[in-house]
Structure 1
Amino acid sequence: MSATRPQVIESKPPFWSRPRMFIGVCIAIVAGLGGAFYTQDNVKSAATLVTTTQQPAAQIMAHKDYLKVQRIAITAPASDQSLELWAIPDDGKPVSLGLIPEDGEGIIGLNPRQQASISKPVELMVSAESKGGSVSKQPTGPTVYQGALANR
């Protein structure tokens, strides 16, 4: 009678072994932190625009390359007018930051020149201009709102 050997079955380690679990957790942490740093877009400065009678009209929040406009009590312009937002630097030459959205809320994209004009505290002013904004690149209509843009 010959002796039979017991068959040895090799067991595979489970898929989520400790080294694989550690590597997976590290990848998830790095991806999460990378995404958080990449999408971080903090408000750099803000202003509350007020009417000539000092009533709050809109909140402006300046991000790196855009402004977010939130209406408080902004009045829609006449049908043949647009509201244009201006930065008034210390040297006094206004820089157009763009048109206030017609409903009073939204995003205004900024080019590098506009970004530079609001990189430090500055006075903001909104004027009533002809439809589409000032053609002279300077405010021509009356001031409807104003406020100081201050760093946060």
Structure 2
Amino acid sequence: KDYELWIVPESGNPLSLGVVPVGGVYQVTLTDEARQALSSSRTLAISLEPAGGSPTGAPTGPILHVTKLYEL
């Protein structure tokens, strides 16, 4: 199984930011679509997915953590 990071918009479907490797640092280069999604909703979630990530493009496993991003 793998962890997958998602942007959760106020409306519409979650947008995957990719599979998160266990251990180490995970860096994401945001696409224009991801930047736009984050500007309207600053909610991220992590789901537990089959190895390699969600086969459907949407979370299929349990949501393990949800957090909001805040600008300081």
1:105 Cα offset (Å):
2.3
Q: Which residue of 1 is the match for residue 50 of structure 2?
A: 130
**Structure 1 stretch displaced more, 109-118 or 128-137:** 109-118
| Structure-2 change in CA distance of 1:144 and 1:82 (3 Å) | same
Q: Which residue of 1 is the match for residue 68 of structure 2?
A: 148
2 CA distance for matches of 1:104 and 1:92? 31
Q: Structure 2 regions of 5+ residues with no counterpart?
A: none
Larger RCO, structures 1/2 (Cα 8 Å, 6+ apart): 2
The RMSD of aligned alpha carbons is 1.6
Is residue 2:31 matched to residue 1:105?
no
Q: Secondary structure at the match of 1:118?
A: helix
1:111 Cα offset (Å):
1.6
Q: Which residue of 2 is the match for residue 139 of structure 1?
A: 59
Q: Which residue of 1 is the match for residue 39 of structure 2?
A: 119
1:15-94 equivalences under 5 Å are 81-94=1-14
Number of residue pairs matched?
72
2 CA distance for matches of 1:143 and 1:132? 16
Identity of aligned residues (%): 33
Q: TM-score, normalised by structure 1?
A: 0.43
Larger radius of gyration: 1
Q: Structure 1 regions of 5+ residues with no counterpart?
A: 1-80
Moved over 3 A (4+): none
More helix as a share of residues? 1
